Structure formats: structure tokens, C-alpha cells
Amino acid sequence: MASTETIHDVSVERIYPLGATMRRVTFIPLVGPQPFHRRVHGGHCQLFFPDPAGVRLRRPRTFTYRRWHADGRFDVDFVLHDGNGPAAVWLRQARHGDNLQWRHGGPPKVSLAGPCDDAAVLIGDMTALPLISTLIENAHIGRDIRALMLLNDSHTQLPPVEPGRPVKISRYKTVSQVEAELRTMTFGQSGLLFVACEANKMRRLRRFALDDLELSGKQVITSGYWKAGLTAEEIDAAKRGPDWFADTNLSGVGHEQPRHSMA
């Protein structure tokens, strides 16, 4: 994310549940709306949360724009959990009219807006649900899409699919189940595999795609949104290490920087 972006205040307009596992927060930028060309669904931003003492954090948390509204408001979907991170603590207490600091980011690294003869396969856990939902909603009307969601519960709401679109969304509990499903698929030369989930699972699926499915590096885009046992700051340090993708000698493989929607 570009460090030249200015930090501004935003105000909470609305907080409402998305089932039992997520909350959507609508923010109003207090400096006026972003220009239209910057309001990209599925892009990313940084939110700066106060610590328990009310002091603003210098290190932000990164989130996906779930949706931009015509007047410049934007939605962010948060995963609910019992952690004590600054975003989780803030979300449990957030109310209409609360202010946060916000820094605009950029567009997503994946777009399905153009036509393509081959399928796009999207794999993600709950933290990737906002981006995957947005990619599906804004995809080319004829784009063939398969979304394989790693979800351990049946309560998380899956994105609605517009009738007539060639989109199929399925739930899986384990990476092994996802790998078995991938083996049944045919990827053409322009087929895309996008994986966004916990870093260890991301690395496993990435190696599976490259080694077992023999996809090219340009076809595989991966992102470790979070890593079990690590804080956001520790993840920032870990992703700069040579073993983050578990294949230090491989070059030319597409990847995103970690971006998540966990509170």
C-alpha cells in the first residue's frame, strides 16, 4: 500500500450483522468522497484503531472495501471473533457516530471484469469472503467462476449469485477436500486460481496448484491473509522472509500482499 496516501477521519454510519459470524460497517469519509476512478470494489484500505487506553495506533490494520456507495460511503465486512486485537475490541464497542482514522489503498490484484473462455477458481476462508463476494458481483456476466470456500460452520452467509450467471459456490471443511475438487477441474491456458486464506493453507494449496495441477506461475495468485498464532505485526515481518511462500527458488509466481478482514 502506498505510504504517500494521507490519513483522514471517517465516521461510522451503520453497523449491522451478516449472519452470526460477520458484521458490516458503513463508513463516511469526513473529508469528502474519493474520486470515482478510485472507488474500486474489492480494493483495500487501512483503518487505525485506538488501543484500550484510547491512544491511536501507529500501525494500522488492512481491510477490503466490500462496496462503495455512490455518495462516497464505503462498507467493510469484519469477521467476528473473541480475540483481543485492536479491531476486535473496537468492533465489540463500536456505535453510530464513532470516528476512526482511515487511509485509502488501491485496487485488488485480481479482476474478473473482462471476458475469458476459461474458468476462474476462487478459494478462500471467511477472511476472504468480502473480496470473493465482490469479485463475483463485479465479474463479467459470462465469466465461469467456481468459489471453493473453506468454512467450518454452516452459518456463514455465502454471496448471492445473480440468476443465469455461470457461478457455483461450495463449502468445504478441509484443504484435502478442496484439493480433491481441484483434481476434477480442467484449467485452460487462461484459467485462473486465486487462493486467499490462512498462510499455511495458502502455501499448501499453492504448491498443489503448481506441482500437482501443473498450472503456470502466472495462473496462480495467492495471499496469506493471516497466519495462525501470529499478530498482524508479526505477519508483516514474516511475509518478508524467504520461506513465506515455501518455495524460495521459484520465480515468476503471482501473489498478493497479505490483506484480511479479521477484526
Q: What is the pLDDT along the chain (263 residues), one digit of tens a residue?
A: 445 789 999 999 999 999 888 999 999 999 988 899 999 999 999 999 987 665 665 678 899 999 999 999 999 999 887 777 888 889 999 999 999 999 999 898 899 999 999 999 999 999 899 999 999 999 999 999 999 999 987 778 888 888 889 999 999 999 999 999 999 999 999 999 999 999 899 999 999 999 999 999 999 999 876 665 555 555 555 555 655 554 433 333 333 333 455 55
The verdict on residue 17 lying in a domain is: yes
* Domain total in the chain: 2
In terms of domains, do 83 and 164 share one? Answer: no
In terms of domains, do 225 and 163 share one? Answer: yes
The torsion of the CA quartet 217, 221, 225, 231, rounded to 10 degrees, works out to 30
pTM (whole model) above 0.75:
yes
In terms of domains, do 90 and 143 share one? Answer: no
Predicted confidence at residue 223, as pLDDT, reads 86
In terms of domains, do 51 and 150 share one? Answer: no
The verdict on residue 164 lying in a domain is: yes
Is residue 195 classed as helix, strand or coil in its secondary structure? strand
* CATH code of residue 124: 3.40.50.80
The verdict on residue 110 lying in a domain is: no
In terms of domains, do 97 and 198 share one? Answer: no
> Domain limits at 40?
7-104
Predicted confidence at residue 256, as pLDDT, reads 39
In terms of domains, do 131 and 81 share one? Answer: no
Q: Which residues pair with 53 in a beta bridge?
A: none
- Rounded-to-integer distance, Cα 198 and Cα 164, Å: 32
Is 228 within 8 Å of 198 (Cβ atoms)? yes
- Rounded-to-integer distance, Cα 148 and Cα 151, Å: 9
Predicted confidence at residue 132, as pLDDT, reads 95
In terms of domains, do 217 and 176 share one? Answer: yes
Is residue 59 classed as helix, strand or coil in its secondary structure? coil
Is residue 150 classed as helix, strand or coil in its secondary structure? strand
- The 192-198 sheet, strands edge to edge: 167-172, 145-150, 120-124, 192-198, 220-226
Predicted confidence at residue 85, as pLDDT, reads 81
In terms of domains, do 49 and 79 share one? Answer: yes
Q: Which amino acid is at 24?
A: R
